[in-house]
Structure 1
Amino acid sequence: MRVLFNVSPGLDHVYPALGLAWALRTAGHQVAVATTGVSVQAAVGAGLTAYDVAPGADFSKIFPKKGTPEERAAAMRARGAEITVSEETPDFILQKFGEINDLMADRTLEFARNWRPDLVVYSRLQGTALLTARALGIPAVENGYSFLREGNLPGRLLPHLAPTFERLGVPLELPTVQPVYFAPEELMRGEGQGWTMRFVPHHGGGVLPEWLAAPKERPRIVVTLGTIVPGVAGVGSLRSVLDAAEGLDTEIVLALGDQVDLEPLGPLPANVRPVGWTPLNSLLPTLDGIVHHGGAGTTLASAHAGVPQLAMPYGSDNWINAGIVETAGVGFNLQPEEITPAVLRALVEDQPLRKAATALAENLAAQPGPDAMVPRLVELAGVR
């Protein structure tokens, strides 16, 4: 069977798809990834064949930076509040991804017609997969990367793809769409029916630095904001977190990536270790706690590792994810200014918190993995 993975540009879109991609490869099926931007090298780095469907495209024009980091953070929070109430992706985001999809559509469809997949697996907002599946008469599998079930999402996305469908001569109709969720039913929110698959956390490969390979000398907490928040809202809000950490007998690993300006944070406490790009899956096995932005992938990867969490939602679906952390009893849902030394101590010392995190990790580990999904996908594609 040939399976085309059609993924939006962004690490938070491609990484959640890699577990299923490699389950298919291990079972002997052919896999190719049609994507663009940073997702191309991420797929190649995971050992997969990738095709850049929008080389040179400037997506910053679709999501331009306007105003100060504080103003952009306020806009993120406003959209996050809307998603939290509606439990749906806003039309504003669907419209923006309609523009992204239009830039990726021509080469995606051309490649698919040449490569002739039996099935297309796509990240939730990658409407070129709907177009391609309809044009080729094959099923599409929506690969989940959030805790939201949105059974009506393909239908709501379709009108925003109408000009692209018309331009490429494809009837404006949905193909067969099968959602696959990345978390157990009890952790999902929203409305919809789909198959559930165990998440396989992946954040890229890398060479372990000496300090991470050696035994740690005291409890370790990582502070991260994912791949989107630092570039949009900056990192200044973390000053209160670092102030709370100062003087604690805890190592604070500040993992904000290679291109982030730390100057707004001012002098760092002696127990804070700033690091460049370090795959989260390398850090998690060594951690006693994690402070993060409430991203779905970060939340679930931390849950799989049994690490207590402190989620500080910034936007998008972050408040939904932070609420899951809190209601599952595996951590806290707080804003940066609410974080105190006592909160950070509880993150690494509270035994009920640690027991709940361990129990959730055991529950997640018992869920059917991507390998169990492969026979169902073969049947869906109608391939012998």
Structure 2
Amino acid sequence: MVFMRILFTSNPLVGHVFPLLPLMYAARNAGHEVMVATGAELIPELRTRGFSTWTVGPSFADAATELQQSTTDPDAAPGTELARDAVFLFARPSVRRAHELIPRAASWGPDMVISEVLEFAGREVALSFGALPVTHGFGTHVPESARLARIILDHLSSQLGTPSRQHAFDTGIYVDPCPPSLQAGGLSSMETWLIRPGTGELPAGHELPQSILELPDRPVVYLTLGTVFNDPDLVRTVLDAIEDLPISIVVTTGPGADPALLGPRPSHVAVVEFVPQALVLPCASAVVSHTGSGTMLGALAAGVPQVCLPRGADQFANAERVRSAGAGVRLLPDEVSPERLRAAVQAVLHDQRYAQAAKALQVEIGAMPTAAEVLGDLVTLAGANTLTA
């Protein structure tokens, strides 16, 4: 067997790094040398999982601060603000990562570089040194995905002084964890390789907190708003609307958010800062969430219907796809009220059409190739790429 050096690159966001974990574990388990390059926020988590890391580029908090400090033209044409966000949050950080990554990669010598879809420094490394470039998705394609990719790639080539990587991106490999029946159009020119998503990769030693284990034996509703758009006011609104139903509720407030912010809650509500969804989803009868890609696909991999409360980023596209598939109820920000929240939770718990649609997607996901299978094919292709380079 050929052993390779495989570099993974990502923006320092949980929702961007975690979808790469199945391939990272598969590569390490197969004996390949794995390196992960991202910003400082995710380095401790990756090292806890035993991966070697390079801390490169700005933190996401720094990139977001630079975006907030930039000026916005109120008369700008539609789409201009979205393009500005893409440059500040993803293009400029990719340039900084590229400057730091290229000298490290020159000495390390990766055979393959796997980059999440909004991280572009890794592609620059791969194309500069003859490694196989692989793009890895994390959910449904947002509207204008292709246009945003062009904006970011143009920024990189102009700032780095390198040739345009547009054609290589458009025709390259796209590893897609989204089941085809749920996926939207947007990056159709790429060579799609499906990979099976799961409920999440569980670090060693994690188990359910005692407060969750002691919940009454009722249908469990898992309430989470993720790690970026977590809004305690919305969480309180949801809890106030549904906590008197005959259910048990597991709530995660997000890293660094004090559960006490939600105030006192009855004994059938367990509030914790964080618990791996791989532990919670097998117990859940319904999920109420922001519909981030990891939560959405994890719930579907577990066959659990959802109440979708999108707040930003790709969440609106994800929520629309779940609604269209019949696997959940979507409430847009201006549709959220205690009455509608209560009705939505009751609907996904008691109307079996939602559970049936979620189970159908679970079956589709179960038929997708495993990470180990995808990795084996990528290694074969990378070996051939090395021979012809």
Instruction: Tell me the TM-score normalised to structure 1 length.
Output: 0.84
How big is each residue's C-alpha offset from its partner over 1:209-257, in whole Å with a ceiling of 9 and x where there is no partner? 2344568511111110011002xxx321233311221321111211112
Q: Check the 8 A contact 1:46/1:204 in 2, yes or no.
A: no
Gaps of 5+ in 1: 68-74, 76-81
How big is each residue's C-alpha offset from its partner over 1:104-130, in whole Å with a ceiling of 9 and x where there is no partner? 222211221111011100011111112
What's the counterpart of residue 119 of structure 2? 126
Counting aligned pairs with the same residue, the percent is 30
**1:63-212 mapped onto 2 (5 Å cutoff):** 63-64=64-65, 90-96=82-88, 97-148=90-141, 150=145, 154-166=149-161, 170-173=162-165, 175=168, 177-191=172-186, 192=188, 193=190, 194-202=192-200, 204-205=202-203, 206-212=206-212
For 1:289 and 1:99, locate their aligned partners in 2 and report how far apart those are by CA, in whole Å.
Answer: 39
How big is each residue's C-alpha offset from its partner over 1:179-232, in whole Å with a ceiling of 9 and x where there is no partner? 1111222211123132211113426532332344568511111110011002xx
**1:1-384 mapped onto 2 (5 Å cutoff):** 1-54=4-57, 57=58, 59-64=60-65, 90-96=82-88, 97-148=90-141, 150=145, 154-166=149-161, 170-173=162-165, 175=168, 177-191=172-186, 192=188, 193=190, 194-202=192-200, 204-205=202-203, 206-213=206-213, 217-230=217-230, 234-261=231-258, 265-269=262-266, 271-335=268-332, 336-337=336-337, 339-381=340-382, 382=384, 383=386
For 2:146 and 2:174, locate their aligned partners in 1 and report how far apart those are by CA, in whole Å.
Answer: 8
Q: Check the 8 A contact 2:157/2:163 in 1, yes or no.
A: no
How big is each residue's C-alpha offset from its partner over 1:34-83, in whole Å with a ceiling of 9 and x where there is no partner? 112222222223332212124xx45434212999xxxxxxx9xxxxxx8x
How big is each residue's C-alpha offset from its partner over 1:145-171, in whole Å with a ceiling of 9 and x where there is no partner? 1211845665432112135423xxx44
How far the C-alpha of 1:264 sits from its partner, in A, is 6.4
Partner SS for 2:181? helix
Which letter maps to 2:25? W
Query: In terms of mean alpha carbon deviation, does 332-341 or 4-13 score higher?
Result: 332-341
- CA shift in 2, pair 1:61/1:215, >3 Å: closer
Q: Which has the higher contact order (CA 8 A, sep 6+)?
A: 1
- CA shift in 2, pair 1:137/1:155, >3 Å: farther
For 1:137 and 1:340, locate their aligned partners in 2 and report how far apart those are by CA, in whole Å.
Answer: 52
How big is each residue's C-alpha offset from its partner over 1:260-308, in whole Å with a ceiling of 9 and x where there is no partner? 2567655545542211211111111111111000111110000001111
For 1:212 and 1:243, locate their aligned partners in 2 and report how far apart those are by CA, in whole Å.
Answer: 19
Gaps of 5+ in 2: 73-77
How big is each residue's C-alpha offset from its partner over 1:87-116, in whole Å with a ceiling of 9 and x where there is no partner? xx9422320112212332222112211110
For 2:134 and 2:147, locate their aligned partners in 1 and report how far apart those are by CA, in whole Å.
Answer: 14
Which letter maps to 1:202? G
Partner SS for 1:146? coil
Q: Check the 8 A contact 1:252/1:273 in 2, yes or no.
A: yes
For 2:370 and 2:258, locate their aligned partners in 1 and report how far apart those are by CA, in whole Å.
Answer: 39
Which letter maps to 1:246? E
Which letter maps to 1:341? R
Which letter maps to 2:155? H
Query: What number of residue pairs does the alignment pair up?
Result: 359
How big is each residue's C-alpha offset from its partner over 1:299-355, in whole Å with a ceiling of 9 and x where there is no partner? 000000111110111111212111121122211111432634333223222222222
Query: In terms of mean alpha carbon deviation, does 328-337 or 149-158 score higher?
Result: 149-158
RMSD (Å) for aligned C-alpha atoms: 2.8
What's the counterpart of residue 75 of structure 2? none
Q: Check the 8 A contact 1:240/1:339 in 2, yes or no.
A: no
- CA shift in 2, pair 1:209/1:369, >3 Å: same
For 1:66 and 1:261, locate their aligned partners in 2 and report how far apart those are by CA, in whole Å.
Answer: 27
- CA shift in 2, pair 1:27/1:142, >3 Å: same
For 1:300 and 1:58, locate their aligned partners in 2 and report how far apart those are by CA, in whole Å.
Answer: 26
Q: Check the 8 A contact 1:235/1:262 in 2, yes or no.
A: no
For 1:380 and 1:153, locate their aligned partners in 2 and report how far apart those are by CA, in whole Å.
Answer: 28
